Amino acid sequence: MRIVKLALALFVTSILASCVSKPAPPIVDAKGNDMAMGSTAYLLTNLHSYQKITRFYSTNYQQPTLVPRCTEVTLKSVDEQDLIFTINGVEYTYRFSKIATPEGFDANIKKYFGSTCDNSAIKALSAVDQKGVKEGAPYVGMSKKGLIYAIGYPPQSETPSTELSTWKYWREKNATMVIEFNGDTVSRIVK
């Protein structure tokens, strides 16, 4: 009987322990700075939402809704799939896809969120890069760096390295956009 009571006590304790909310995993930006929940962070590239105006995916769907680079956000919560943040009191979700971004959630977040954002980096880019960043759109003649600021990184599942001469983005679930480069310069856009 004593063993049964002990087993029951351990079972109840394990159930209660699983009900206790776990603290949010720490987020560290690419520069090694901690970004705690409740703190201010910045978008490092333009973000395009998918279907719902307040939802973004690591797949980086190229939809018309745009939140500009260097926008100030407040980090609210994070788990293994979602980073919740607010912009001017409006709540947004950044959802991670293991299929689209096998690099992992932490590595992916470092590409899009940082504790600082240097807006002067855009001033050093060409006029076509600046136009693309401002509009959140790709243009022939843009540099790879300018393209990343403008439309974000291509999903790693489609483009395993940004060193490749062809990058593939999803416009929506069944439509893609291919960006071809000649060296570091966009030479062709196929929608």
Give Cβ neighbours of residue 102 (< 8 Å, ≥ 6 apart): 156, 157
pLDDT value, residue 51:
65
Give pLDDT tens digits for 134-160.
999 999 999 999 999 999 999 999 999
- % of the chain surpassing 90 pLDDT: 65
pTM of the model: 0.84
Q: For the chain, which ranges sit under pLDDT 50?
A: 4-22
Q: What is the rounded CA–CA span in Å between residue 13 and residue 180?
A: 57
Long-range contacts formed by 77-83: CB under 8 A, 24+ apart: 77/24, 77/37, 78/24, 78/25, 78/27, 78/37, 79/24, 79/25, 80/25, 80/105, 81/105, 83/27, 83/109, 83/113
